[in-house]
Structure 1
Amino acid sequence: MISKKLLEGLNEQMNFEFYSAHAYMAMAAYCSSESFDGFANFFLVQAEEERFHAMKFYNFINALGERATIIGFHEPNNEFSSLLDAYEKALSHEKEVTKRIYQLSDIALDEREHATINFLKWFIEEQVEEEDLFDSIIQKLKRIENDSNAIFMLDNEFAGRSFSPESE
């Protein structure tokens, strides 16, 4: 049986992952409104991935014999000034996710809750990949600036992105 503090943390993270999906849907909507369908697809896939992450927490909580508690969340940001702005906000969001996962890991370590420590290792590795992905895209967007051909090519590249739970 896990502590109340750890259970609350797991539930908070599960709900934050659901919120993350919402935040990425807002970014997708911005991209769609600007006719960047590939960039929109990128964020739609990202939203799917975040829901998958949330369900990993949901299933883990249930496997521990505890109850997952679903709550509402704040409205995500819906205003972006550019593609670069959306990706910079996405990176900032991922850094917040990383911070939360680390805090949760610290609680599990302090409580020597080994099943949770093991469970969270996957998320720690995932966050390294997430931050690297967004940082890389930001660097590309800065490099190409307003080169419409380069933006078109990147938009086409992102149009082919898909989510596969098996690759997670």
Structure 2
Amino acid sequence: MKLSKKLEKALNDQIRKEYEAAYVYNGMRIYLDDAGLRGASSWMTKQTQEELEHAEAFIQHVKSMDGKVILEKVEGQKTDYKDLLEVLEAAYKHEQMITKSISEILDLAMAEKQYATENFLRKFVDEQVEEEESFRDLIDLVKFVGNDKAALLKVDSGLGKR
């Protein structure tokens, strides 16, 4: 089962997006560490690692489907934010973009009746539901805490337990 050129290109683009997500989250980790939010920094480090694992999974899928992996350029990412809320809102927005991208590739795989790729992508669709929910919950929690620094430190400590 060889990938069509169109599907191969879409999967390669997703590989770049997964590496880009790792860069985005690593930039956020750097900011959080500099801001003294060690728990949130640790949480974002794990998020960074997860995105690298996703990129590798996409690489292995393309290779297993006798496709050619193309590693495209990944742009630098910001490391300055206003606060934890801005970080989480930016991360949530990024996850929404990833969800849309994966859904579009799934649509293409379904249209091409590329069942192996469809099955591969479905686990990522399910994971994206969890990712978006996780960020929404964290955003709600940080908004609830507001300017209460003691409560923010408690949230930070909880994030460090991921």
TM-score computed with the length of structure 1 as normaliser = 0.93
The total of aligned residue pairs comes to 161
What is residue 146 of structure 2 aligned with on the other side? 145
What is residue 46 of structure 2 aligned with on the other side? 45
| Cα distance in 2 between the residues matched to 1:149 and 1:115 | 49
| Cα distance in 2 between the residues matched to 1:121 and 1:34 | 37
| Cα distance in 2 between the residues matched to 1:7 and 1:18 | 17
What is residue 108 of structure 2 aligned with on the other side? 107
What is residue 122 of structure 1 aligned with on the other side? 123
| Cα distance in 2 between the residues matched to 1:95 and 1:58 | 22
Taking only the aligned residue pairs, the percentage that are identical comes to 32
Deviates more, 1:84-93 or 1:142-151: 142-151
What is residue 33 of structure 1 aligned with on the other side? 34
TM-score computed with the length of structure 2 as normaliser = 0.97
Listed as ranges, the gaps of 5+ residues in structure 1 are 162-168
| Cα distance in 1 between the residues matched to 2:111 and 2:60 | 23
1:73 is displaced (CA, Å) by: 1.4
What is residue 56 of structure 1 aligned with on the other side? 57
| Cα distance in 2 between the residues matched to 1:10 and 1:157 | 35
Q: Which runs of 4+ in 1 moved over 2 A?
A: none
What is residue 164 of structure 1 aligned with on the other side? none
| Cα distance in 2 between the residues matched to 1:65 and 1:152 | 49
* Counterpart amino acid of residue 75 in structure 1: G
1:77 is displaced (CA, Å) by: 2.7
1:123 is displaced (CA, Å) by: 0.4
